[in-house]
Chain A
């Protein structure tokens, strides 16, 4: 049977690259996104690339109480789920957040609470079904709070702890939880920057994600070297760290 995949935040470059990989294997997909027209353009493309079936649903992470309904719709449309990838997020303006608790709260809602809202019903359904993988795009920014983007880092760091607990809870049911931690990704949004060796293409990241899902890994740094870069960054003593501009 073909793999049944839900992708939330389906118009992001990484999500689209992963969707193409599953489509090429004949998967059935449910794409949830704010821009449904753009998701529909992606859906047409995935059909040409070999997807057995693609559905599109509207989802806006800033509107609360939509998560249950979305999960139910996707579950029904695909007759259950093998993989759910949560890929939506926003990159907060750290300086603006530092000046506004309200803005900080909104960013935490989009990057953390809305994800938990989705994961909660997904976890229950997968637990009952006794299979499935929950894959969530976190960030290396969640590994250590840094002055340049700690609101984003807080959301991703808290999310990582939540996923750790969820993984623990769901393990006996045979449900896997994967935390993905990409580094710099060469998306069309960053196309004009000259790229160093640390930059990876969305397709490279998608390949790592697909592999991690297939292997049942729990944490996936992508590309792999970020695991070691972040290890070093976590180990730097605060007294020294505070003198950096990171």
Chain B
């Protein structure tokens, strides 16, 4: 096994060895002059190889973690690209400001959130993280520092949103936070017994709730196929009093177990209990925002439970017209393979036009699952899923990908040629070389 650098992706598959890592600490620093390509690395919360640069240099951005300005009256915030979303929340939640869009973990950098144009449970109303960005600065390998935004160098801006770190280094960004009355969320949970139940709920709840998502038991099959729990939430009203306390310090998986702790029987039991725990009738309650938005952040380094071989995520989106059938077919395939994941997530995206040329979210239904890496068996399952996604005219999320073929990438991202014009010649990634068939 190759020596471990701390610079792995979250799924720890595939392994990649950068030729070097250069840490950036001040935003006025020039890009280091190195042989070969460079790639910004945020906090490594991407699963596959989009944050890896095998044989090239990584530009570690966590040292760029300063705020430039924050206006507590308007919620306008400007910060360096290495600031974590969790650091923004610590600073602003007390004063009544929340992230306008947040992914399922708060341990991602602002630069990483922009470069993958991440989405949250409010995509149907708010769009993606990129939609919130007002301005950013891009440092190109030519030494130029270019400000861009929706109305300033709009084409370079659209390439950089969801641009996978390939258009240059984002040094800082500006966006607006959203007002909240308190740190709580009013959450409604509804159990549904099969996939159709999900679609019924999604069509109704998405209109009334700011945040919606469903957990699916991906091992259930037959008439239980696609059963799960639908979560719909809104920020709590100012009068909310029976508020729970914030969770304490997160426990952490302290070491690497020698093998995966995920085995099918455990999974089956876990998913069954999770599903049964939810009473048949909808429940309604107030929760602290942390467990609602970031259920997995409660266990530090949980990626270790998959053992040394790592794991892969599979996140797809398919248009609504084909959504029901394609999702059913995919779930049947996964249940049949018995490889399933801990929890899979199903959500309907809104139809706001994408902010970036390579943005993943688009109108349709998105399914996300983790799979322990079991070699050929896993890859074979992925190939079947790929076929279903391709037939439905869908796409795979680069931030979660370690396997998709150049063909599927080209089909899912039709604006890639337009994107190419904005590539920085010194920047590249393992992902990019893989999905474009380019050499390092």
Contacts and interface: CB of A to CB of B under 8 A. Distances in A.
A194 B68 contact: no
Contact of B6 (A41, A49, A194): A194
A192 B68 CA distance: 27
A42 B347 CA distance: 41
A246 to B, nearest CB: 25
A95 interface: no
B5 A48 contact: no
Contact of B67 (A35, A48, A189, A191): A48
Interface string A21-59: 000000000000001011001101100110000000000
A188 B62 contact: yes
Contacts of B21: 191-192
Interface stretch (B25-33, B48-56, B191-199): B25-33
B20 A192 contact: yes
Contacts of A194: 3-6
A38 B68 contact: no
B91 interface: yes
A168 interface: no
B28 A41 contact: yes
A192 B23 contact: yes
Contacts of B6: 191-192, 194-195
Interface string B28-66: 100000000000000000000000000000001011001
B69 interface: yes
Contact of B5 (A41, A45, A192): A192
B137 to A, nearest CB: 13
A6 to B, nearest CB: 20
Given A191-B60, A195-B6, A48 B27 contact: no
Contacts of B26: 11, 35, 38, 41
B292 interface: no
A45 B23 contact: no
B409 interface: no
Interface residues of B, number: 22
Interface string B113-157: 000000000000000000000000000000000000000000000
A188 B67 contact: no
B23 A191 contact: yes
Nearest to B87: A49
Given A188-B60, A188-B63, A194-B4, A48 B23 contact: no
Nearest to B72: A48
B70 interface: yes
Contacts of B68: 41, 44-45, 48
B28 A45 contact: no
Interface residues of A, number: 17
A13 B66 CA distance: 12
B24 interface: yes
A194 B5 CA distance: 6
Contacts of A35: 26
Given A48-B91, A49-B91, A195-B6, A188 B66 contact: no
SS class of chain B's interface: helix, strand, loop or mixed?
A: loop
A13 B60 CA distance: 15
Contacts of A195: 6
A143 to B, nearest CB: 29
A37 B66 CA distance: 14
Contact of B66 (A44, A189, A191, A192): A44
A223 B91 CA distance: 27
B28 A37 contact: yes
Contacts of A189: 23, 25
A53 to B, nearest CB: 16
Contacts of A49: 67, 91
Interface centre among A11, A42, A191, A195 (most CB of B within 10 A): A191
SS class of chain A's interface: helix, strand, loop or mixed?
A: helix
A44 B26 CA distance: 13
Nearest to B7: A192
Contacts of A41: 26-28, 66, 68
Contacts of B7: 192
Given A38-B26, A41-B26, A192-B23, A48 B4 contact: no
A222 B27 CA distance: 29
A42 B5 contact: no
Contacts of A37: 28
Nearest to B18: A192
Interface in A181-199: 188-189, 191-192, 194-195
B67 A45 contact: yes
Nearest to B29: A38
Nearest to B66: A45
A134 to B, nearest CB: 27
A188 B60 CA distance: 8
A140 to B, nearest CB: 23
Contact of B70 (A11, A48, A192): A48
Contacts of B63: 188, 191
Interface in B59-85: 60, 62-63, 66-70
Contacts of A11: 26
Contacts of A191: 6, 21, 23, 60, 62-63
Contacts of B66: 41-42, 44-45
A18 B23 CA distance: 20
Contact of B25 (A44, A48, A188): A188
A38 B28 contact: yes
A200 B3 CA distance: 22
A37 B23 CA distance: 19
B97 to A, nearest CB: 12
A223 B69 CA distance: 33
A13 B67 CA distance: 16
B16 to A, nearest CB: 14
B69 A48 contact: yes
B110 to A, nearest CB: 14
B4 A188 contact: no
A36 to B, nearest CB: 11
Interface of B: 3-7, 20-21, 23-28, 60, 62-63, 66-70, 91
9 contacts: A11-B26, A13-B25, A38-B28, A49-B91, A191-B6, A191-B23, A192-B23, A194-B4, A195-B6
The 7 closest A-B pairs by CB, nearest first: A45-B66, A48-B67, A188-B63, A188-B23, A192-B21, A191-B23, A188-B25
